[in-house]
Amino acid sequence: MDFFDPVVIALGLAGLYMAWNIGANDLANAMGTSVGSGALSIKQVIIIAGVFEFVGAVFFGKRVTSTIAKGIVPIDTIKLIDPHLVVVGMLAAILAAGFWITFATFYNLPVSTSHSIVGAVLGFGLVSAHSGIIAYADINWLVLAKIVGSWLLSPLLGAAFAYLIFVLIRSLILQRADDPYAVEKKFVFLQVLTACYIAFAHGSNDVANAVGPLSAALSTLGLTDGTVPIWILAVGGVGMVIGLATWGYRVIETIGTKITDLTPTRGFAAQFATATVVIVHSYGSLPISTTHTLVGSVIGVGLAGGLAAVDLSVIGKIISSWIITVPVAALTAALIFTGLMGIGI
Amino acid sequence: MMRRKYIRSVLSVFAESPFRPLHMHAEKGADATRKLSEALEAYCAGDMARVEELSSEINVIEHEADVIKQTIRSQLKSSIMLPVNADDLLDFLKPQDAIPDTAQDVAYWLTLRKCELPDVIRDGLLELMSKSAETVEMYETLVDKLSELLETSFSKKEVKQTLAIVPQVEELEHEVDVIETNLVKTIFKHEDELGGAGVYHLAELVKVIGDIADKSEHAADRLRTMILRR
């Protein structure tokens, strides 16, 4: 097998589609708050997001990518039996995650790409164990537990951190200012910085969802040296930027026009908290949902009394999306894997 | 807008702010009161056609206020988190909604009966109306401060400034009470001249005009509770 094997090409294309989807929706969500508060125009946001997302993906995306590629399922063990299994398994995983994300997006469900790809890779691991390729104990349950724990923790951390930042802004700046509207104008500049920050953080964490499986396949085939090469991260980065430019601007537009309540001080608190939580998780090699963290951060600003109205029913929707995403993605990946093997691919 | 949007978004965490419609709703009360002042002047000048016309304009304003009120209520699901207590907000919306309602009542009473008024009663009515209108205007100033309160997320200074307006509304309402009591006495002094129906009509009119100030004071009081208990 080489780069031009149809299965490898399919993996690359599926990865690009996933990257496009992440750029079009998740990145756009993270950036939409800057447009909503009037800090940046849509054009400026797309340029900033494009540059920093790419840089984040390329220079800081390696850790999470290697978690997706080989942190959960022991591909090195499977490789010893047949490298082909890993390639097909990873193709099944990215296809399953891609299908689920596409479906969820059509129905506007708050589903995370990170949760989907983790569930799908796990599905591949489980079906391998089921068919005796590996033992169930070979699946890295500890890493999986850490990942799931981080999904619960990251929105809470976002909420707590955003709460703290906004309380500080309020007591140190807003309440001392003679003209609170002038303060908002000053925060516009800070929000330009947080827009860069959040794009960088997002790129560093979410590129893995698109190129993790591809990276696993290429390393199994010996086409890379076992670490995640920069060019794979660059492919993911380019895909996400294309997603933002070709579709994400509409999402940004929709969000930007509807969340006018999120003034620059509030937007800054929510984005800074989100970006920080995400980047800490990227450093800890944990794939989390930027969107869920952002929702947590917005609620944190609301809890601090910074927003006119926050709808907490979104929490229930997010929790049910957690519960449903992993089994659905896992089962789909298992079925696709079995199907692909069945037809002799 | 696309019919089926290919979008996963964080939008659903942002609920509609009830404070903007709340402000619009307060303005409806003030608008209705201004129209009513005009209507009373027309009444005193004997221009009943103009009174009818203004009365139906007030009906329209009152209806608009009702629609806004219903919108606010329907948006406040239990999952909505506000910087104030939602029950307090609804408690305050109720008396605020009574302001255009009462203005509508007064306009209705004006259309019922044409009246030849002694000068002293006419002047008394106009004075009562202008003081009631002043109370509503002061109340409107109070509601205007709400947006700044939200902007600074209830800074102590803004809260203090806002709450300082409440006693001013209360003071004006007290002045309205005094005018009201004296005016009713004057009306009964002229009972022979006015006749039973005339006295009844005027006494009721005085009562409802005074009610406008009453409701404003009540709403101001509720607004204070909402701000303090948040």
Cα separation, B227 vs B176, whole angstroms? 26
CB within 8 Å of B53: residues ≥ 6 apart: none
CB A230 within 8 A of CB A57: no
pLDDT tens-place string over residues A121-156 = 999 999 999 998 999 999 999 999 999 999 999 999
Say if A26 is an interface residue toward chain B (CB within 8 Å). yes
**Which chain B positions have a beta carbon within 8 Å of A181's beta carbon?**
151
Helix A83-106 and helix A180-220, axial crossing angle in degrees, nearest 10: 150
* Sequence spans of domains, chain B: 17-228
From B100, B124, B46, B61, select the one nearest B219 (Cα to Cα): B100
The answer to whether B140 touches B33, Cβ cutoff 8 Å, is: no
Q: Which structure tokens are listed for A319?
A: 């929790």
Render pLDDT for A194-213 as a digit per residue (tens, 0 to 9): 999 999 999 999 999 999 99
Chain A hits for B146, Cβ within 8 Å: none
Residue A1 lies in a domain: no
**What distance in Å separates the CA atoms of residue A202 and residue A56, rounded to the nearest whole number?**
7
SS in 3 state form for chain B? CCCCCCCCCCHHHECCCCHHHHHHHHHHHHHHHHHHHHHHHHHHCCCHHHHHHHHHHHHHHHHHHHHHHHHHHHHCCCCEECCCCHHHHHHHHHHHHHHHHHHHHHHHHHHHCCCCCCHHHHHHHHHHHHHHHHHHHHHHHHHHHHHHHHHCCCCHHHHHHHHHHHHHHHHHHHHHHHHHHHHHHHHHHCHHHHHHHHHHHHHHHHHHHHHHHHHHHHHHHHHHHHHHCC
User: What is the average pLDDT value for chain A, to the nearest integer?
Assistant: 92
Indicate if the alpha-carbon torsion angle B212, B218, B224, B230 is positive or negative: negative
At the second CATH level, the architecture of B17-228 is Up-down Bundle (1.20)
Residue A122 placed within a domain: yes
- Residue B10's pLDDT is 79
CB contact under 8 A, B18 and A309: yes
Out of B7, B8, B157, whose CB is closest to A175? B157
Domain of residue A168 covers 6-342
Please name the residue of chain B whose CA is at the shortest distance from the CA of residue A109: B8
By Cβ distance, the residue of B7, B15, B154 closest to A310 is B15
Residues A38 and A26: their CA atoms lie apart, in Å, by 20
pLDDT value for B148: 83
Best probe of the A interface among B2, B9, B149, by most A CBs < 10 A, is B9
A296 contacts on B by Cβ (under 8 Å): none
E strand or H helix at A310: strand A310-311
- The answer to whether position A294 is within a domain reads yes
Asked whether the ipTM of the predicted complex exceeds the cut of 0.90, the reply is: no
The count of domains in chain A is 1
- Token pair, residue A282, equals 């990227």
- Has residue A312 been placed in a domain? yes
pLDDT tens for chain B, residues 1 to 230: 344 567 777 788 988 889 999 999 999 999 999 999 999 999 999 999 999 999 999 999 999 999 999 999 999 999 999 999 999 999 999 999 999 999 999 999 999 998 788 999 999 999 999 999 999 999 999 999 988 888 888 888 889 999 999 999 999 999 999 999 999 999 999 999 999 999 999 999 999 999 999 999 999 999 999 999 98
Window 289-328 of A: residues touching B by CB (8 A cutoff) are 291, 294-295, 298-299, 302-314, 317
Taking the CA of residue B137 as centre, how many other CA atoms within 13 Å lie in the half-sphere pointing to its CB?
10
Rounded to the nearest angstrom, the minimum Cα separation between A136 and chain B is 34
Estimate the crossing angle of helix B119-151 against helix B156-189, to 10 degrees. Answer: 170
Q: Who's near A246: CB < 8 A, 6+ residues apart?
A: A20, A24
Report the C-alpha gap between A228 and A215 in whole angstroms: 6
- Rounded CA gap, B213 and B95, in Å? 11
Q: Taking the CA of residue A171 as centre, how many other CA atoms within 13 Å lie in the half-sphere pointing to its CB?
A: 6
pLDDT range class, residue A1, cuts 50, 70, 90: low
Q: How far is CA B213 from the centre of its chain?
A: 8
